[in-house]
Structures are given as C-alpha cells and as structure tokens.
Structure 1
Amino acid sequence: MALAQEAISLDLDKQLSLEQRTFLYMPFMHSESKLIHEFALKLFQRLNNPLNLDYEKQHKAIIDRFGRYPHRNAILARSSTAEELEFLTQPNSRF
C-alpha cells in the first residue's frame, strides 16, 4: 500500500499502461478503510474501465456496510456478527 501511495503521489501511475495502473490500484480496493475506498473510487473512475470500477464499488459497499470484509474474519480470528454470517451465505459475498 505504501509503495502504491508513493507512486501515485509522484504521478508515476500516469506513466503506466492501463493494466499496470489497475494492478497498482489493487491495494486500495482491498483495504478495509472507508477513507481509502473514497480515494480508490476516484482512482478507478479515472481508469475509465467500467468492469474495474464496478468491482471497486462492490468492495466499497461491503466496507461501507460492515467496516471490514467479513470473509476475512475467520483467518484474522475475528468474531462475525449475525449480519455478517448471513451476508456470507449470499452469492458473490466473497472475493
């Protein structure tokens, strides 16, 4: 994440191909920070790739709803709420 943030702050991402920028932006999409997702949304909007933007919106919606990715709870030894457990039974609830 730190390297991606630094590259963006130096405008190095603007020198990259679409595929390379998409890869560079992935840590933002997978963050559990609402603030970082606000920034990620802007990054993915700039890519002008509807598929990647849609994935970011899906990830952001989970963070907006739960403040974290419920599918990570078990591996991180976090307790899940009843709402999270119900969510995890739904299609496309895990990435």
Structure 2
Amino acid sequence: MVSWLEELTIAAANTRGLSASLAAGSADDGFPPGETCHAVMREATTTLMDRARATNAVRPEVTPEDLLTLTSAISQIAEGAPPTARRLLHLALNGIWP
C-alpha cells in the first residue's frame, strides 16, 4: 500500500492539475458516477486498504478518503518536486517520533 501511495503522490506532484482532479471527488463535471479520476483512485485505494486491514497493517479508523486527502495535499504542496513529495509522504506515514 505504501508503494501505491508513493507512486500516486509522486505522479500527482509531477502532473500539473492531477492533484486537483484527485481532490475533486464527484465534482468532475461531465463524467458518469464512478468514472472520475477520484473514483478510480478511491476504488484502487479501497482494495489495497482492505488487504492491509486483513493483516492489521493499517489502523482501523483510517479511511481511503483520508489517504487520498493526504496524498492530494502533499502533491499540491510539492507540485513539481517529487523528492519533496516522497519525503513528506513518508514523514506523514511514519510520524515524527524517532
């Protein structure tokens, strides 16, 4: 799951406007429900989270929306700077404790 989040965050940081599409959710005009960028990414994230939950690799209160919001925020802040996006994502996932 970490690899997926990392690839998603870096792709969004590298692709101008992708992080906004991910954050847009169902507001993507002109697309049928479930066919927006956000919906496709949410489905993939949900599948990976289900697998992670089955092995207790993610806290039960964490939702796919939480992770998509996190990756979207990081990629917007680090747009055009993939190394920064990767570093911030790992900091968020691992926390600040030593």
Do they fold alike, i.e. is TM over 0.5? no
Bigger radius of gyration? 1
Higher relative contact order (CA 8 A, sep 6+): 2
